[in-house]
Amino acid sequence: MESLTDRSQNVLELKNIRKTYPGVVANDDINLAVKAGEIHALIGENGAGKTTLMSILYGLIKPDSGSITVDSKLELFRNPTDAISSGLGMVHQAFYLFPSLTVAENIVFQDEPTKRGFIDIAAAIEKIREISDHYGLAIDPNAKIENLAVGVLQRVEIVKALYRNTKILILDEPTAVLTPQERDHLFKIIRKLRDEGCTILFITHKLGEVMELADTVTVLRRGKTVWSGAVQETTPREMSHHMTGRNVDLERISQCLNVGEPVLELDGVTVTPEDGISTVKDVSFKLRAGEIVGIAGVAGNGQNELVEAIMGLRGISSGTVKVQGKDITKKTVRQRRRAGIAYVPENRERVGTARHASIWENLLMGFQRDKALTKRNFISRSRAINWARGQIARSDIRASGPTANASTLSGGNLQKVVMSRELAHRAPVFIAEQPTRGVDIGAIESLWQEIQHARDQGAAVLLISAELVEVQALSSRILVMYEGSVVAELDPELVSESDIGFHMAGGNVNGG
């Protein structure tokens, strides 16, 4: 990579970028200046215009007006190929990789080295290994993409950008799918890239990451640039105020003192797929009314399989699941929900919602037979829409109206739809799986309040989250899973994030 020596100059400037859609101003004359060799964070609520702005910068969307300057040269990117040719690289939230091809084949796609008219895969592999070794990216050029974990896929995307001599690397929510350990490793890579002259544009919702990693931060709100400056000149509280226009409180919530009887009981639950390797091993615990129990663990240690076993989405090899004293182990998903379980799934797009249906139709799921919303055994559209309006107002879902398509919503507002619908069931057991993944700080505050409200209304809440700050802030007790087993029960007021991470890595199991 070519080093940029003059770090006092702007290597990238976006001036008066404007992009409108029918009824929406996505980018309202946005200005952004990024200096050479710095880590520049771009933050803002969902819908603030970050994704649109980066899509314009990378040639995916054409702006209505405004200019882009790279290395003092005025650019007009017609497509990502133009942006790449000017030294830009981008790692998207959704990785653009071919699952059936190898790492090397993905990295060199459309930029293959040749020898005597043929693709020189050996030369490609050698260059990939050089990049990987230099930055500690630890990828195998011959591995198949379909066999790799999410954290590794992200490193493949980074190497793909560096392979093309990227000078400005755009990382869009890079830690949304990473464990704390993977996040720390990524930060080391980013710092090394910066130290060697690469400019990093880092899009995130997480203010702690901004304070830890970034040199400079620019804040967007409702399509406008509202603040930009050195990270050392601001605080997380000030940044959250710039983002939302109000004070946001994400401190540890007060705990409920009226904890009741057990509502959800697991006894020796084991999940063993056909390959014979158990993903959940002899898990037992009781979840009481009026408490929040958080489950922490590195991704892939059985948390998702456990939730699916509770919901009936995955078969149980042995053990029992009870709700309010009734054995539901052999019940269907529908019967389990009727028994009293509400569920916010991990994947709001694929599982939690029908993205191409309207907001009112998404809110109606599970209430199709509600007498207040039907007429002569058929859904009453007018009643359902009026009911949805109430849900939208109560949960502060920011949308043009109940008939709008769910696909038009930002991630945070789509999650509010799922949360609002599930809470409306007033079920005695409420399971929230990764409830704030990929949403902004304002939406996080709202979602935390919803979870707390469910608990205060007497629900037994099971919280599964990769965000340790969230687990500590909301939970009455923390259960740590490692290799399919619950290996520790912790008091969130008495342990640190590093203490939880120790158990997540199997420290007490391995004698660490």
Q: Which tokens sit at 471? A: 């687990």
Task: Mention every residue, 6+ apart, whose C-beta is less than 8 A from residue 376.
Answer: none
Q: What is the tens place of the pLDDT at every residue in 403-457?
A: 999 988 877 788 899 999 999 999 999 999 999 887 778 788 888 989 999 999 9
CATH 3.40.50.300 for the 10-244 domain, yes or no: yes
Burial class (CB in 10 A: 0-12, 13-18, 19+), 222: middle
Q: How far is residue 96's CA from residue 480's CA, in Å, rounded to a whole number?
A: 33
pLDDT band at 219 (very low <50, low <70, confident <90, very high): very high
Confidence (pTM): 0.72
Q: Which tokens sit at 506? A: 């199997």
Distances (CA, A) of 265 to 297, 305, 341: 20, 16, 12
Q: Are 431 and 310 a contacting pair, CB within 8 Å? A: yes
Does residue 3 surpass a pLDDT of 50?
A: no
Q: Are 424 and 416 a contacting pair, CB within 8 Å? A: no
Pick the residue with more confidence: 212 or 175?
212
Q: Report percent pLDDT > 70 for the chain.
A: 96
Could you say which of 3.40.50.300, 1.10.1740.10, 3.20.20.105, 3.30.9.10 is the CATH number of the domain covering 262-348+425-504?
Answer: 3.40.50.300
The values of phi and psi at residue 91, to 5°, are -110, 110
Q: What is the tens place of the pLDDT at every residue in 68-123?
A: 999 999 998 999 999 999 999 999 877 889 999 999 999 999 888 888 888 898 99
Q: Are 269 and 309 a contacting pair, CB within 8 Å? A: yes
Q: What is the tens place of the pLDDT at every residue in 294-350?
A: 999 887 889 999 999 999 999 999 999 999 999 999 999 999 999 999 999 988 888
Place of tokens 């930029």: 111
Burial class (CB in 10 A: 0-12, 13-18, 19+), 90: buried
Does residue 246 surpass a pLDDT of 90?
A: no
Return the top range by mean pLDDT from 150-159, 215-224, 494-503. Answer: 215-224
Neighbours of 49 (CB within 10 A): 25
Q: Which tokens sit at 342? A: 């509400």
Q: How far is residue 189's CA from residue 320's CA, in Å, rounded to a whole number?
A: 45
Q: Report percent pLDDT > 90 for the chain.
A: 63
Secondary structure string (H, E, C) spanning 335-378: HHHHHHEEEECCCHHHHHCCCCCEHHHHHHCCCCCCHHHEECCE
Q: Cα torsion for 449, 499, 174, 359, to the nearest 10°?
A: -20
Locate the domains of the chain by residue range: 10-244, 262-348+425-504
Fold agreement (10-244, 262-348+425-504): yes
